[in-house]
Amino acid sequence: MYWHIDISPNISDRPSDKLITRQGKSLECYDLGRVAYTNGDFYHTLMWMQEALDHLDTETNHTSINKIDILDHLAYATSQQGNVEHALAITKEILTIAPDHFRAQNNKVYYENIIKNRTLTNKQRRDAIDKSNSTNLKLIQTTSSDESYKINN
């Protein structure tokens, strides 16, 4: 399978240079990331798209893939892994490169809404816990002042 390519800690957890040599490394990593993406494997999509991005910046032989395509896949895969805040940051990076990028504009609003709703949910959860704790304290006080409750030895 595509994601079982040897990744050695001796080379900073990067795919072996011996395995990816025919074309530009960024394009090959992108292609592997696309396969993972198509299969819904967002963990490996992240790995390969990040690798593609790293190689893209260092390659002199420019390929048909561009930074926006890589970032777009990286942002979506990041959101699918649950890191919406980082997906938003990547999406903002896309918009600095291409302010008119339609999908990035929509995704920015979408990610911001998720974060906003998550924040409200956390606040509501804290309020519910606080309310629950104060109710429990009242119950404890009421129970402990009940004179009819005695332990017989």
Q: Are the CB atoms for 50 and 71 separated by under 8 Å?
A: no
Tens digits of per-residue pLDDT, 49-86? Answer: 999 999 887 877 766 789 999 999 999 999 999 999 99
State the pLDDT at residue 119.
73
Tens digits of per-residue pLDDT, 11-59? Answer: 344 554 444 444 578 899 999 999 999 999 999 999 999 999 998 878 7
Task: For residue 45, give every residue at least 6 positions away whose Cβ sits within 8 Å of its Cβ, in sequence order, or none.
Answer: 33, 36, 37, 73, 74, 77
Q: What is the CA radius of gyration of the chain?
A: 25
pTM, two decimal places = 0.66
Query: Domains along the chain?
Result: 7-141 (1.25.40.10)
